[in-house]
Each structure stands twice: as structure tokens, then as C-alpha cells.
Amino acid sequence: EKEMQLARTKRSFQLADFKNESQYVEPTIRKEFKDTAFWQSDLVTGSDGKATLRFNLPDNLTTWRATARAVSADLSVGSKIDRVLSRKDLILRLETPRFMTEGDVVTVSGIVHNYLDDDKGAQIELKVSGASLLDQAQQTVTVLKRGEQRIDWRIFASQVGRVTLLATAKTNTESDGIELGLPIVPVGLKQTIGDSETLSGDSEEKTFTLNLPPAANLQARSLRIEAAPSVAASLFGALDYLTGYPYGCTEQTMSSFIPNVVVAQALKDVKSTTIRQTNDLPKKVQRGLDRLYEYQHSDGGWGWWKDDKTDPFMTAYVVDGMAMALRAGYGVENYRLTRGRDKLRQLIDTGKLEDGKPIDPESRAYLIYAYTVSGEADAKYLNDLFSKRNALQPYGRALLALGLKAKGDQDRARQVAVEIERSARTSEFDAHWESRLRAMLEYREDVSLEATALSIKALAQINPQSKLLPKAARWLVNNRHNGYFWATTKHTAFAIYGLTDYIKSSRELSADYTVEVWLNGEQVLTKRVTAAEAAGGQSFVIERKGTELAGSNQVRVVKRGSGVLYASAALEYFTRGDNIPAQSTQNLRMTRQYMRLRVTETNGKPKWAVEPLTGDLVSGDLIVVRLSLQGSKGRYLMIEDPIPAGCEQIERVSGINLNYTEGRWSDWYSNREFRDQRTVIFDNYFDGDATFQYALRVIVPGDFKVAPARAELMYEPTVQANTSNLKMSIIDRKR
């Protein structure tokens, strides 16, 4: 609440300074750094038009810009911008990378700026926690007036976690201190193994054995055990996975958006179901809508990305989701939905993609369903689909049944529901439906999980007494091979989409049993479950990390009493080792190569050339990362390539755009993202042979480890490949 006094420190008289220069002033440690110092949406003035507010500035040393806008009751408006400088006469800066990788030796530089009127003897010190400091922590230097002095320290990132750097520069007149934190990321490949089971007997137990390989990183491992007393409870962990997914194409946005909408609707329809307040569904739904608006194409449709071709499935997916949001009571911009529906109608009428290829029957069924449930629609589309239903797989037939039900055509909806039941693949314990989309590039996408989710949704709405429903729900929940979520974002979203309707019609909310969970012989949970817990929609979750886990982990779940329990266990870990081998599947292979980038000028025009990476790498150099992939044709390829901590990605150099628009630079890709720790490339249509390039600028000296690059088909994650890891040394450019 007091005026900021960064520039003022405990200070003696000048005479005392002259007599004893060894007395250093203790600094204020700066560690709160923000882009926005303060924000308030409304402030009411007095009758004189004035108001006063107080706040503390963050620790940034910079020029802050204050912007005020005002509006009066009679709609008079005004604005004013002013500036204030937050500064010190002695400043310490730290030059660090954005992150560190386990095993890195990084050179961190402290630069002291002296704006005082005299040369100053300064005591410079660095304290490190979470990593090892390899050099002397404290040095005494002389900083000339109006000058600066640089001090270097080497830091060894010995373990995964977070390193905290506390640096101070002390003089007898003024001092400064700064505290920064950096993540230390694992050097290996992230792996997930998991299993799930349904316990419905009055006395039943299941055991999961999750073994870690010898090379698993001891510090970068986590186990999540979930015991859910209802399907509803089992869904919320999957919601957390979707909302925390790091990438955001249209499908991934929708696969987070739709489940939030259907869960919000379920909260209205199933009064006994609740959800944690921290999920903040309205905020998540609005964030999803805003992104979908941004990605809408000029023709009214949607593709996987903002600037690619309009896709029938994605357009139907988004229009269906917006219509659901409206029905759940959320505000949707009407013209966005209208333009999307116009594109749906155009795709249905032409029956063709932009390149003239025919739309497959299942995608056509989704187009008609989305058009039907999102507003007024000509009955001819549903009638035509009904007359040709024998050509549909279970995926399309379920959408037909849902469309008929939505339009009140109960008789034909029941007729199709009977056909859905007949086409199920059943066993004594479960049931599911098989479907494969006939897509382009000779690639057929297995959508059996989506077909099963849609069939569950259709039967739950049309024939909620169907004996197949509990079996199908069990098959769907038990196919969470990653533990608490399904193999892909799309699978997870569709599973939630279908199971939410099953929750409304099922009787599984009646429960009366005890559940025990044992981990490696230790009891970690005992709980009495009644109908109230089952109806509450909350699961019981146990988490263990790092050294709390053994190499072989045995999870035993015991249930005694009547009711259903859905149990799952998921173990995430990173591989570890100096030589992580390259691996590939039969359908995908990958290599990574580092090269040197030379940029020259000929007749005033910049040119680039790629050369072998020979000689020393010096801060300021440019390098190229070349990623080559070969394999079978497929759709929706994703590449994640970790970068050396001492480098930064660059998009342009000397006016040259370093992307696929520059001839010979890179093959075409759908989207590219530069993150702090990695580069991510997406390719909608992988033709079996592609090479992608991007550029890095060498920034920070040190010895760096680089984790393997990996690639996978996003919706068939068993098709994957990775490169080996590598090491890189960067030396400092002589000054």
C-alpha cells in the first residue's frame, strides 16, 4: 500500500560510505514480473469527476503505460494515457534459457548495469536450488560508472523439476536482486500405460499390474488410480484430460467444447449429478466458442485448421456442437451458426468435396444429422437417408436414428433402433458396433468407438430398456486403454457424448457397497459407496509420483456389495538414458538431422543455403532441423520435436519466410507451432514421404541434451515413430 521504493534502499551518509566501502546495502529481491500491472473494469468517480485507487507495481523495471477510459451517465466519453518509469540506478539482469533439459550444463549470465555517478565495487552472487552450481557462487567486480559488467556461472540440471535462481548485486550505495524460476524437463520419451475394468458382482476384485521398464526416469513418473461409482463419475477425469490437451485444432477445440456442453446439459437433466466448481463450465464453453468463431472459413464451414480446406466432418461437428450449446442455454452468435448450416446444405446437395471427390455415406449421414438438429430442415434429406440406410454402417445408422428421434418420427426411429441392436457384436459381457470411414489417400479410419458411442446415445433415447445398453457402456468404459481417458481426443469426446445419455436412462445410480484400493500391498483407499455417492458424479482418485512408485506396481481393487464400480489405473513415465534408440512401426519411420544455415546476399537479394553441421556452434549461429518421414499414407500426422534449451525457433531471417511458402525450404504442412520447449508440426494428408524443416538461432552457451523427436497419426496413435536423442555443445561468441 506504500509508494514503490525499488530505487531506495537502506543508505548511510556519504561520509560513512567513504569510510567503509565494505558495508553492502541489502537489496530488495525482485521476483514478481507481469505484463499487466493492474486492471479494473469499473471505477466510480465522485461528483467532481475524480477517483483515486492504489496498487503495487510488479517488479519489472520498465516504462508502465496507464490507460483510463471513462463514460458518464449521459454517455459523454473520454480517455487518457500516461506513463511512469520504474527504474533503479544499479540493475542486475539474468540471461537464461526459457527452460532446461535434464542433464544440461547451461551458462547463465548476470549483467550488472551501473547508472550511478561513481565506479562501484560490487559483490555478485548466485544461489541455486533444484540444480547444481558448478562455479564459484560469489565474485567481487568493479563496475564502471555508466558501464556494465558480465559474470557467468555454469549450472548442471541434475534432476527433473524446477530450478530457482536467486542473484544479487550489492554495492555500498545501492543493490539489486532478482529471482527467476525455470522448468527442468525430462530428456526421454513420454509413455502412458493403463488399464480399466468394470466390477459389477457382489463380491469381486480386479488387479492391474503396471510395470516400469528399467530405463524409466525415477523422478518423471506418476500413477493415477480412479474408482468411479458410476459412469457419470468416470467421465470427469476424461474432461480434465480434454481441457488440458496442449494443442488446439478445430477437432481438439470441439472435443473439449462438446463434452463441456453435454455435461452442462446433463447437470440440468439429471438433478442428482454434480461437478466440481473448479471445472468452471461456462468459461470453458465460451472459450471454445470464441476459438471456433476464429477458425470459421470464408465459405461458412470449418476444416481442421484456420486456413485449410473445409471438411464435411468438421463442419457437421461444429454445427452440431453450437446447436447443443444453444439448447444448453449458452449464447451462440446466430450468423455463425446460419453460415455453417448453409455450408452443410451445400455439401449435402452436391455430395462432393472441394476437389470433386464424393462424400462417403457415413460423413453424409453426419451432415444430414447436424443440419436436421440445428434448425429448420427439409424432410427430404432424412427421408433419402432412411431409404438408403442399408448402405450405412452402424456409425451412420445411429446418426439416422438420432435425427429421426429429434424430429419426432418415433416409428421410423424405433425401426432403425431395432436394426442397430441386430448389428451389434455381442459377447456374454459386452457389446459394440464396428465401422470404418472410407477416407481419401487409400486410408480407412476405424471409427468403431465413435459408432458404439453414437449407438449407445441412440438406444438410450429411443429404447432405454435395451439389454444391450449396459453391455455397450461397459465395452466403452473398458476401452480406456490410457486409464481415465481414451486413445485420442476425438474418441474421448464421442465416448462422453454417448455415455451422457446412458447416464440419464440407466439404473446404475443405485449402489450399496464398500470399495478398497491397494497399491503394492498398502491399502490406499477404503470407502463406503451408497446411492448418494453414485449420484454425486464424483470419483475417488489416488495419485502417486516419483519415488513413491516402485518398478513394478500392482493395483488391487476390491468391491463388496451391490452396484457397479468402474476402476482404472494410468501410469505415465519418461524413458531415461544417454542413448535412447530410434524406434519405428511398420507404417512410419522418422529421422532428424541438424545442419547449418547460411544466409548471404547476392545483388541485394538474400539467399539461404544448408550445409553440414561442422565446426563449433557459437551463440548467434543459425541451424536447421530437418525431419524426414516415410511410411504408409495416412491422415492427421503430428510431429513433436523438442529443441535444445540454448536455442530459439525463428520464423524469418533477412526477410526470408522460413516456411513451406519458401521454395525448397519445407514440404507443405497444415499447421506449425513454436512452443517454449518444442516445435509441433501437423499434416492433414501424409502421402507417405515428407520432409519438414525449421530454423533455430543459437542463443545460450552450454552443453545441451535434446530429447527424441516423435511422430504419430493423431487418430491412430499406435502408428508412431521416434528418433534417437542427441547432444549439442554451444560456445560463447568472443566479445
Q: Which residues pair with 574 in a beta bridge?
A: 190
Phi, psi (5° rounding) for residue 329?
Answer: 95, 10
pTM metric for this prediction: 0.82
All residue ranges of the chain with pLDDT < 50 are 1-20, 278, 440-441
Helix, coil or strand: residue 282: helix
Alpha-carbon 185 to chain mean position: 16
Helix, coil or strand: residue 138: strand
Rg (CA), the chain: 30
CA 724 → CA 166, 214, 313, 640, 707, distances in Å? 35, 18, 36, 13, 8
Of 344, 332, 338, the closest CA to residue 369 belongs to 344
Q: What is the pLDDT of residue 265?
A: 65
Sign of the Cα torsion 53, 58, 61, 63 reads: negative
> What are the cell numbers at 642?
523438442
pLDDT tens digits for range 153-179: 999 999 999 999 999 999 999 999 999
Of 524, 586, 518, 582, the closest CA to residue 555 belongs to 518
DSSP state of 731: B
pLDDT tens digits for range 17-72: 443 455 899 999 999 999 999 999 889 999 888 999 999 999 999 999 999 999 99
d(CA 594, CA 610) in angstroms, rounded, equals: 10
Q: What is the pLDDT of residue 11?
A: 43
Q: What is the pLDDT of residue 327?
A: 86
Q: What is the pLDDT of residue 17?
A: 42
Contact 623, 704 (CB under 8 A): no
Q: What is the pLDDT of residue 509?
A: 57
d(CA 494, CA 370) in angstroms, rounded, equals: 15
Contact 324, 265 (CB under 8 A): yes
Q: Which residues pair with 78 in a beta bridge?
A: 70
d(CA 37, CA 56) in angstroms, rounded, equals: 8
Q: What is the pLDDT of residue 18?
A: 42
CA 488 → CA 241, 344, 421, 434, 712, distances in Å? 10, 26, 26, 17, 11
> What are the cell numbers at 636?
492427421
Q: Which amino acid is at 191?
A: Q
Burial 169-195 (b: 16+ CB within 10 A, else e): bbbbbbbbbbbeebbbbbbbbeeebbb
DSSP state of 352: B
Residue 264, burial from CB neighbour count under 10 angstroms (0-12, 13-18, 19+) = buried
